[in-house]
């Protein structure tokens, strides 16, 4: 059984990501934990005064719980033929702390969320919540682009920068994912021109037992290489590897989301391989 944490703020973007998850995991037996994290600033005095007989906790959670219950009823109706079970969670903690607690408590296999970028600002593809989850939640996470419509997932692209290596942990993640969901693996390696031969030999030794399509690009920015590859190959989901500290350096560089933006035309699987 898969245990999947679905994050929602009841926005169109979050609901779209949940719909994607319903289809992505359709061949699996799943328990979906649908979680809403209440911001402290979201407490409204009027909400507390409306029902003085109830506890403060009940007063604060009433509206989001009603929304979660309505969402689950709809999901149950839409997925009657699937082996799905649903649970709801409302928390008041720091966003990523709340997620990490649930991941640990329920042994979550995947987190699924929308990209939550500001739709009216083209450059802001990843909102702060998404960046925080990518950075701080050590669980496989699927980030679904705004307005992305599901299509069958068959082709999986793993792109590796010069600093990324095929650790045993990373290979284990990749093998589990492609075998579990019966995917064709594509590997895109970006290298410096003076190290291309060595890195290619090391890669091919590491993936010798995998049925994969390997492509080496020399001296090209990774965002450009990924974007070009996606345009010329039938990719359905991409991977982002957070393998070392260079990840944060790249993520929060002069163009904070540039490397991630190139992949966000498609759902993105975030893998933590420290």
Q: Note whether 137 and 163 are same-domain residues.
A: no
Q: Note whether 12 and 140 are same-domain residues.
A: yes
Which residue, 144, 177, 198, sits at the end of a domain? 144
Which phi-psi region, left, alpha or beta, contains residue 183 (left: φ > 0; alpha: ψ -120 to 50)?
A: beta
With b for 16 or more beta-carbon neighbours within 10 A and e for fewer, the 223-246 pattern comes to bebbeebbeeeebbbbbbbbbeee
∠ CA(9), CA(22), CA(130), 5° rounding? Answer: 40
Residue 47 domain flag: yes
| The total number of structural domains that make up the chain | 2
Q: Note whether 136 and 33 are same-domain residues.
A: yes
CATH number, domain of 217, equals 3.40.50.620
Q: Note whether 140 and 166 are same-domain residues.
A: no
Residue 150 domain flag: no
Q: Note whether 8 and 140 are same-domain residues.
A: yes
Residue 197 domain flag: yes
Residue 230 domain flag: yes
pLDDT tens for the chain, 274 residues long, are: 999 999 999 999 999 999 999 999 999 999 999 999 976 554 555 555 555 555 666 667 888 899 999 999 999 999 999 999 999 999 987 889 999 999 999 999 999 999 865 444 443 446 678 888 888 899 999 999 988 999 999 999 999 888 788 888 899 999 999 999 999 999 999 887 777 788 889 888 998 889 999 999 998 888 888 889 999 999 999 998 886 555 545 544 444 445 555 566 899 999 987 6
Which residue, 117, 144, 171, sits at the end of a domain? 144
Which phi-psi region, left, alpha or beta, contains residue 94 (left: φ > 0; alpha: ψ -120 to 50)?
A: beta
**Residue 174, domain extent:** 155-272
Residue 149 domain flag: no
Predicted model pTM: 0.86
Which residue, 144, 173, 204, sits at the end of a domain? 144
Q: Note whether 115 and 217 are same-domain residues.
A: no
Residue 247 domain flag: yes
Residue 41 domain flag: yes
Q: Note whether 116 and 137 are same-domain residues.
A: yes
Q: Note whether 127 and 212 are same-domain residues.
A: no
Beta bridge partners of 240: 270
Q: Note whether 30 and 82 are same-domain residues.
A: yes
Q: What is the CA radius of gyration of the chain?
A: 20
CA pair distance 114, 16, nearest whole angstrom = 7
């Amino acid at each position: 059984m898969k245990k999947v944490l679905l994050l929602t703020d009841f926005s169109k973007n979050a609901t779209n990501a949940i719909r994607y998850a319903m289809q992505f995991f359709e061949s699996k037996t799943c328990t979906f934990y649908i979680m809403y994290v209440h911001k402290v600033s979201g407490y409204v005095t009027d909400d507390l005064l409306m029902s003085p007989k109830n506890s403060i906790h009940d007063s604060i959670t009433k509206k989001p719980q009603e929304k979660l219950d309505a969402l689950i009823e709809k999901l149950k109706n839409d997925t009657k033929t699937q082996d799905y079970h649903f649970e709801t969670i409302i928390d008041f903690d720091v966003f990523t702390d709340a997620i990490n607690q649930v991941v640990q408590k329920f042994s979550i296999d995947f987190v699924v969320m929308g990209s939550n970028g500001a739709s009216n600002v083209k450059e802001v593809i990843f909102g702060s919540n998404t960046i925080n989850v990518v950075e701080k939640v050590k669980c496989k996470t699927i980030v679904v682009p705004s307005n992305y419509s599901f299509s069958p997932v068959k082709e999986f692209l793993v792109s590796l920068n010069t600093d990324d290596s095929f650790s045993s942990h990373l290979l284990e993640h990749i093998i589990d994912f492609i075998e579990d969901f019966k995917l064709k693996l594509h590997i895109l390696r970006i290298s410096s021109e003076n190290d291309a031969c060595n890195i290619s030999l090391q890669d091919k030794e590491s993936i010798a037992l995998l049925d994969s399509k390997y492509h080496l690009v020399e001296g090209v920015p990774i965002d450009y290489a990924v974007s070009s590859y996606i345009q010329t190959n039938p990719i359905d989901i991409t991977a982002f590897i957070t393998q070392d500290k260079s990840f944060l350096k790249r993520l929060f560089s002069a163009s904070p989301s540039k490397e991630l933006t190139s992949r966000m035309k498609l759902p993105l699987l975030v893998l933590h391989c420290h």
